[in-house]
């Protein structure tokens, strides 16, 4: 396959409500979308999962735009590429970091390949990996709220709505009381977990160990993203499994996690690991080692969500992902049909239509576009 152009767009989508985590708050999403055209005229889509600020990782919408224009596009445009699995190796040559920028374009290659073969993305990535799910169980990730009571109320409503996992965000000073209130409201058996987004350090080990009392499914990323050693120390002191998110930037880091016992569950995000090929490698490794994985979210539009749904259909994804329906985030999404969840907390995996399995609403995208740039071969 050969790309003739990459069309970058920044779209602005206000979230229905602000999403606050320990490291920052998001209210208006500035999403970088990539439309890649191949020499047969097909268009493949990719969504960059970088945020507006460098608080989750060092990347942002603006750094990703720069990286794609300056370093990703020149390596790929006009070049004959055997398949989507060849993309990341090309992008890794003398080009460090910028995983979300790389992934946004890599994903578009997978969409193009699926269209070319006339198969859904879920079937394409599921090939050789056993039975794929026709529907996925999903969970919700709830931002930090004004009070433990407000959060508990929201969490209970989500459980009643059918969500198969409730994740709450925590941070120093907004932790034990919040977890206690939600556990009380949901009952002892409800699937509940907490995500700290790097907020704690070694001085907090006793406080984190106190979370063991609440029967959480896991504690996500309690410590710094580059600190596997202290995660291993902490895991020794916890009954609750640690799940790593920010730390897992590649297959190597997933292997390190297992070697060091720095965590026992992996949150896989396509953007953070540099694309679908890398996500698949992590999935396969974890599956071979009996390590459960689940699909994380980055407040994606319907386009990025399609990739998450396809990924979560793979057999190793045994825990509900952070994949809510469109209406949870947006007044109106930019895909048709929008993503919907049934009363049992399931989202159907599109398996018939080729590629992402939905129509991208170009008029809607046009309305939301704040800037655009076309990069062409030659």
Residue 85: Cβ within 10 Å count: 18
Which residues in the 97-126 window bind ligand OSB by CB under 6 A? none
Alpha-carbon distance of 165 to 246, in angstroms, equals 20
Binding status of residue 339 toward ligand OSB by CB under 6 A = no
- What is the C-alpha to C-alpha distance for residues 171 and 22, in angstroms, rounded to an integer? 5
Q: Does 64 bind ligand OSB (CB under 6 A)?
A: no
List 298, 303, 311, 335, residue binding ligand OSB (CB under 6 A)? 298
Subset of residues 139 to 158 that bind ligand OSB, contact rule: CB under 6 A:
141
Q: Decide whether 132 or 244 has the Cβ nearer to Mg ion.
A: 244
Partner that binds at residue 152, options ligand OSB, Mg ion, none, CB closer than 5 to 8 Å by kind: none
Q: For residue 340, give the nearest of 45, 136, 119, 108 by alpha carbon.
A: 136
| Surface-to-core class of residue 348, CB atoms within 10 Å of its CB (0-12 exposed, 13-18 middle, 19+ buried) | middle
What is the helix (H) or strand (E) element at residue 253, kind and residue range?
helix 251-260
Give the one entry of Mg ion, ligand OSB, none that residue 104 binds, where binding means its C-beta sits below a cut-off of 5 to 8 angstroms depending on kind: none
Output 115 or 240, the one with its CB closest to Mg ion.
240
Token pair listed for 203: 């001085």
56 binds, among Mg ion, ligand OSB, none (CB under 5 to 8 A by kind): ligand OSB
Shortest CA distance to 280 belongs to which of 106, 118, 117, 138?
106
Kindly identify the residues of this chain, within the stretch 184-203, that bind Mg ion according to CB under 5 A. 195
- State the nearest-atom distance from the C-beta of 221 to Mg ion, in Å: 5
Strands (E), 22-67: 24-38, 43-47
How many residues sit close enough to ligand OSB to count as binding (CB under 6 A)? 12
We find the least distance from the C-beta atom of residue 136 to ligand OSB, in angstroms, to be 14
Residue 183 neighbours by CB under 8 Å, 6+ apart: 190, 192, 214, 215
* φ and ψ at residue 293, rounded to 5 degrees: -125, 160
Strands 166-169 and 192-195: parallel
**Which H/E stretch holds residue 3?**
strand 3-21
Among the residue ranges 176-184, 210-218, 273-281, 291-299, the one whose residues contact ligand OSB (CB under 6 A): 291-299
Q: Is 249 in the site for ligand OSB (CB under 6 A)?
A: no
Selected binder of Mg ion within 245, 256, 300, 333 (CB under 5 A) = 245
Q: Looking only at residues 218 through 247 of this chain, which bind ligand OSB when binding is defined by CB under 6 A?
A: 245
Task: Please tell me whether residue 304 binds ligand OSB under the rule CB under 6 A.
Answer: no
Shorter beta-carbon distance to Mg ion: residue 38 or 322? 322
CA 352, CA 340: separation in Å to the nearest integer?
17
Q: Which residues are catalytic?
A: 169, 269
Letters for 307-326 (x = contact with ligand OSB by CB under 6 A, - = none) are: ---------------x-x--
**Which residues of the chain form contacts with ligand OSB (CB under 6 A)?**
21, 56, 141, 195, 197, 245, 296-299, 322, 324
**Residues contributing to the site for Mg ion (CB under 5 A):** 195, 220, 245
């Amino acid at each position: 396959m050969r790309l003739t152009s990459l069309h970058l767009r920044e779209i602005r989508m206000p979230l229905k409500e602000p999403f606050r985590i320990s490291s920052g708050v998001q209210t208006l999403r500035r999403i970088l979308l990539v439309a890649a055209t191949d020499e047969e005229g097909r268009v493949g889509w990719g969504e960059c999962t970088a945020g507006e600020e460098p608080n989750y990782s060092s990347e942002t919408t603006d750094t990703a735009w720069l990286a794609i224009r300056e370093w990703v596009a020149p390596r790929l445009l006009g070049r004959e590429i055997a398949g989507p699995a060849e993309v990341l190796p090309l992008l890794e040559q003398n080009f460090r970091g910028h995983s979300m920028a790389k992934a946004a374009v890599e994903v578009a290659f997978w969409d193009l390949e699926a269209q070319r073969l006339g198969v859904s993305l879920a079937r394409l990535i599921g090939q050789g990996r056993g039975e794929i799910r026709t529907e996925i169980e999903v969970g919700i990730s709830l931002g930090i709220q004004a009070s433990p009571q407000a959060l508990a109320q929201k969490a209970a409503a989500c459980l009643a709505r059918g969500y198969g996992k409730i994740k709450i965000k925590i941070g120093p000073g907004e932790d034990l009381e919040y977890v206690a209130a939600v556990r009380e409201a949901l009952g002892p058996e409800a699937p509940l977990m907490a995500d700290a987004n790097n907020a704690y350090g070694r001085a907090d080990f006793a406080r984190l160990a106190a979370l063991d009392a609440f029967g959480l499914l896991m504690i996500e990323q309690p410590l710094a993203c580059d600190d596997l050693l202290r995660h291993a120390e902490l895991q020794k002191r916890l009954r609750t499994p640690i799940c790593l998110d920010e730390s897992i930037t590649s297959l190597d880091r997933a292997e390190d996690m297992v070697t060091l016992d720095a965590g026992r569950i992996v949150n896989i995000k396509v953007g953070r690991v540099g694309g679908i090929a890398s996500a698949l490698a992590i999935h396969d490794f974890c599956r071979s080692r009996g390590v459960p994985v689940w699909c994380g979210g980055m407040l994606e539009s319907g386009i990025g969500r399609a990739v998450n749904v396809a990924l979560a259909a793979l057999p190793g994804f045994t825990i509900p992902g952070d994949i809510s329906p469109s209406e949870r985030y947006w007044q109106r999404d930019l895909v048709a049909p929008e993503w919907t969840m049934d009363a049992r907390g399931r989202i159907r995996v599109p398996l018939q239509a080729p590629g992402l399995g939905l129509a991208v609403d170009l008029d809607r995208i046009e309305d939301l576009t704040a800037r655009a740039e076309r990069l062409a071969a030659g």
